[in-house]
Structures are given as C-alpha cells and as structure tokens.
Structure 1
C-alpha cells in the first residue's frame, strides 16, 4: 500500500500482489466497470452493401440486437466513442449519424 502523500491525486489505487493473487479480482472488476461506463449506446441501419461492417461492430463493441430488415441491417448496442467515430456515416434510427457527441447529420 502506498503512503497517502504518494497516492494523493491519483484517483483510485489498488493494492495488488501478482505473486499471491491478492487484489486482482477487484482490479479486474474496476477495469471492466470503467470500460462499460465509457461505452455509448447506438442504434443504426447499415445498408446491405456495407454488410462487411457488421463484424466491426461485433469486434469493437457489444451488439445487443442484430436484425436483417427490408431497409438494411439494424444494429443496436454499445461501443466506445472512439470506435463509433469511425462508423459515424451510418444512419441512426432518428435520421442522424453515429457521432459520439451531439449526433449531427454528416452531409
């Protein structure tokens, strides 16, 4: 454990022993929680000619629902903002593109 004067200003600090395995469960849990909180929700329709992009959504986020519809492939899930930025040209259900903040239409 670090003395308070060293640990000050670092946010959460975890005491971990790789040798004995102490603290690894709490560290792993907090890492998972950090990334889950950081993910952004999305809903979009991919045109069928862009069906290859479906794997990108699966590899870089969580796809909660995937449906093949008349107008394209409907995807709903969560993804980190940096990955969403790479696919922002695909249309959201409300007629807006997948921008991570402020969802605005890319012309």
Structure 2
C-alpha cells in the first residue's frame, strides 16, 4: 500500500477489515516506544503487525484551561486526523483506531 505519496490508496475496499482487525487483534507483546515527548507503547499484535498505543489521559469531555499546549496529548487526535485526511483525499496519515 504505502508509496512516496500516500499511506492508503484512493480505493481500498479492505480498509474496514484492516481497521477492524487492528481493533480486535490479540496483543502479544508491549514495549515502551522511546519516541516523542509523550508516553507511547509499541504493541505487537498476533499477526506480527506493530502499532503505537497512546493512552487516554482524560475523559473526552474534559476541558483543560491554559495554553493550547497545556496537558498531555489527546489520544483521539490521531483518529480524527486519519478520518479527516481520508475525507479530504490526503491519505498521508497512518491508520488510527480506538481500542476498548
């Protein structure tokens, strides 16, 4: 799939299946992903696929007062970015899901 211009092709009928498998796959290994400034975990799923996990620090309706950079990253920002980029035809944002 990925190439120099996109991570997801314009037509991807299997995308829903891939996102569902990411959501439901058994996690077989967890490591600390030592990248960035916020806590992230590197998950290895049963298929061997690796994915980054960002924990939910706040309830979705929590309002933080202070500058825009105050507090920790919101876990759902990447999910919104993924879907918005797909709708706008950019297709350059990594696949993102919310697991429960």
TM-score relative to the length of structure 2: 0.22
Which structure has greater helix proportion?
Answer: 1
* TM-score normalized by the length of structure 1: 0.21
Which has the higher relative contact order, 1 or 2, with Cα contacts under 8 A spaced 6 or more apart? 2
Structure with greater strand share of residues:
1
